[in-house]
Structure 1
Amino acid sequence: MRFAFFAFLLLAALAAPRSDAQEALVVGLAAPLSNDLAVLGRQWADGARVAANRDGSVRLVEADSGCTEDGGAAAARQLMEKGASIVIGFLCTPAIEAALPLFTEAGIPVITPVRTTGLTDHKTRTGWLVYRLGPRADAERKAVSDILVRRWRGEFFAIVDDGTIYGRELAEDLRAQAELAELKPVFVDTYRPQLDNQIGLVGRLRRAGATHVFVGGDRADIAIMARDAANLGYDVVFAGGEALKAEDGSVPLPEGVLMVGMPDWRELAAPEALAALQEAEVIVEGYVVPGFTALEVAAAALREAASQGVPVQDVLAGRDFPTSIGTVRFDEKGDMTGDLYHLFRYDGHAFVEVE
């Protein structure tokens, strides 16, 4: 009887749930998986799933955030019930803002690509355990100013915008930073977008003597300006922001246009990661690589926290995490560090980084 009793205890121990150290390696994933934005959520989830299978030391649990406040809160509760110790995802501001108070109270950090600056800027007040994998909403404006003010110091440059919030903010930041550097554009204006031609604007730029023009506007308008300048025999360099990544309109973008933007995530990914995604028959687009990378960071943070016996949030800020896109590091606020934006030149087919 005594032998049978101890045999029963042994079998019970073998069948018991995993230890706390093992259970701590549970990564939650929240993304829109069933609505109009499900294509983005599936990209994020596909990348994370492949990374989890490749890692082998973590268990991935998922919830549909729906990109709404209610969906974000519901996803948070589901992931906590499933034992997540860290969460990746929440691609929309309403969902993550509803989820963060619940996660923070439970001591569960979130790694997200959402660009909203307030997520990290208000951290002192909210205490939110949030870490941004990717650029802030204001990162593009800052990069445009930093890169072009430095490179165009000796040029006769102009700044124009299309009057939209996006275009005007880019233009105004550049103008303000140029002024701080004691530089003055030869021409500043707001143009009317979506016209068949921009001959009038191009003529004014030429009369002002501009050799370089930053355009706070979309790809179609910049392509038309460049075409009209070429037709007038006006040698000028046009530059824009990430809106240049859009598809061509009726007028193709000509060679030589500059863009301040982020490299494509696919270009940042290591060959081994791309091979794993290809083997899993995942098309590498959109949020696939960020989802893959977020899982890598989350898994590494969980292992580090478990080895030190500390909460996972204690190891996220100020440490280097080797990933398939290179080293990822978060500052004390939770923003990703490093120069995420670079200068590119269009070669007629793609944007190539300028050294």
Structure 2
Amino acid sequence: MIVSFLTVTFNAAGVARADETKIGFAAPLSGSFAMLGEQLVKGAKQAHNNAATLIIADDSCSSEGGKQVAERFVEQKITLATGFICSEALEAALPLLQQNNIPVLSSGVQERTLLEKRKPFSPPVYRLATGMEKEVAATGSVLGSLWKQEPFAIIDDGTIEGRELAAGVLNALKEQQLAPVFTDTYRPGLTNQNALVSRLRRAGASHVFIGGQADDAAAIAQSAKGLNYPLIIAGGALLNAIPNGLPLSTDTFMVAPLAPASLKSAQNFRQEMQDRGEIVDTYLTAGFATMQIADQAQKLSQEKHLPIAEILSSTAFETILGTIRFNQNGMRSDNPNRLHRFNGKDFAPVEN
């Protein structure tokens, strides 16, 4: 149903000829997130095959920047808007882009915007990043298997993201008839979590899932060690930022998307960029993969005489992140989240 709808919706825009095709790429090239935007653009340029003109615009990771980007893209008559790693910029750009039948392929915004939620029949934004729904599903599956016989607790740091993650994991485990021995909202940012850890021990929890940051996981591990209390800690992608103060315990696990360094499909790209002296980070890789999809979609659109939106909705794209398909909501149909364990330096995938 979604394919036929998109065909009608975007038919007015037509299928652009190769000599007039333009792809827009939005990234924060000024402000606090400029370094990330520069990496994103660098990856996109490295992947771009030059079959279409690439229009790069600075969204400054802000609402005003997003509006200006959308206006420029409409003026330039682009056929596909790509990039966007900041929800504020995408949220502001989307009304004008959709009004002009310009599909969007986002490199980093995970969740649906307010506009998409309010308009159930609006064309989807195709997202390279996976959202919390995928993270929760993978975490529930992994912990449901590993912690089936373990007394576990679920706690969160009180933030919106932390609460939603913890609540999602709790519900996923309850669906498997698994109940925690303890739940709580803790005070984040403390270097001493002795009181919290004491409550966990009194409850009999040997494992705990944290909806919170790496600094809190490190503090909880340190307190558990000081109280001579063996405690297995798990969390989501929020743990991926290595803490500034106390070290994480090697009994700390994380369910998060596989890093490019762990993907065979990204090895050649990583090596080539490293040989050039580049730092291969997540945004460089995301920019490259985004442009791989954009170029393939643009080429197929011309070959099959179909709107790009229909191509994005019905095609499997080969990228350095592997094979990627989008479902009817524009989300990736695969789930790249896997179990990782902290090895004293960083998180490494746990082999099955």
TM range (shorter): 0.7 to 0.9
Can you give the 5+ residue segments of structure 1 that lack an aligned partner in the other structure? Answer: 1-18
Paired residue for 2:46? 50
Q: Which of the pair has more CA radius of gyration?
A: 1
Paired residue for 2:149? 154
Q: Say whether the 8 Å CA contact 1:115–1:134 is kept in structure 2.
A: yes
Alignment partner of 1:315 is 2:311: yes
Instruction: Tell me how large the CA RMSD over aligned residues is.
Output: 2.4
Paired residue for 1:186? 181
Can you give the 5+ residue segments of structure 2 that lack an aligned partner in the other structure? Answer: 1-14
Query: Residues of 1 paired with 2:308 and 2:118: CA distance?
Result: 17
Alignment partner of 1:285 is 2:281: yes
Structure 2 counterpart of 1:304, from 265, 283, 300 = 300
Q: Say whether the 8 Å CA contact 1:50–1:277 is kept in structure 2.
A: no
Q: Offset at 1:129?
A: 4.7
Q: Say whether the 8 Å CA contact 2:16–2:79 is kept in structure 1.
A: no
Paired residue for 2:262? 267
Paired residue for 1:8? none
Paired residue for 2:212? 217
Paired residue for 2:3? none
Count of matched residue pairs? 335
Q: Say whether the 8 Å CA contact 1:161–1:217 is kept in structure 2.
A: yes
Q: Offset at 1:161?
A: 2.1
Q: Say whether the 8 Å CA contact 1:120–1:334 is kept in structure 2.
A: no
Q: 1:167 to 1:81 in 2, by over 3 A?
A: closer
Query: Residues of 2 paired with 1:78 and 1:347: CA distance?
Result: 47
Paired residue for 1:3? none
Paired residue for 1:31? 27
Alignment partner of 1:98 is 2:77: no
Paired residue for 1:332? 328
> Identical aligned pairs, as a percentage?
37
Query: Residues of 2 paired with 1:154 and 1:256: CA distance?
Result: 18
Give the TM-score taking structure 2 as reference length: 0.86
Paired residue for 1:13? none
1:105-184 mapped onto 2 (5 Å cutoff): 105-112=99-106, 113-118=108-113, 122=117, 125=120, 127-184=122-179
1:188-207 mapped onto 2 (5 Å cutoff): 188-207=183-202
Q: Offset at 1:151?
A: 2.5
Q: Offset at 1:137?
A: 4.4
Q: Say whether the 8 Å CA contact 2:136–2:172 is kept in structure 1.
A: no
Q: Offset at 1:123?
A: 8.1
Q: 1:353 to 1:204 in 2, by over 3 A?
A: same
Q: Say whether the 8 Å CA contact 1:300–1:321 is kept in structure 2.
A: yes
Structure 2 counterpart of 1:61, from 55, 61, 71 = 55
Paired residue for 2:290? 294
Structure 2 counterpart of 1:73, from 64, 67, 72 = 67
Q: Offset at 1:343?
A: 1.0
Q: Deviations over 1:201-225 (max 9, x none)?
A: 2233223222211122222222222
Q: Say whether the 8 Å CA contact 2:156–2:184 is kept in structure 1.
A: yes
Q: Say whether the 8 Å CA contact 1:141–1:173 is kept in structure 2.
A: yes
Q: Deviations over 1:213-250 (max 9, x none)?
A: 11222222222222232333322211122221122333
Report the residue type matching 2:141 in the other structure.
D
Q: Say whether the 8 Å CA contact 1:318–1:332 is kept in structure 2.
A: no
Give the TM-score taking structure 1 as reference length: 0.86
Q: Say whether the 8 Å CA contact 2:155–2:166 is kept in structure 1.
A: yes
Paired residue for 1:4? none
Q: Offset at 1:68?
A: 2.8
Query: Residues of 2 paired with 1:180 and 1:129: CA distance?
Result: 29
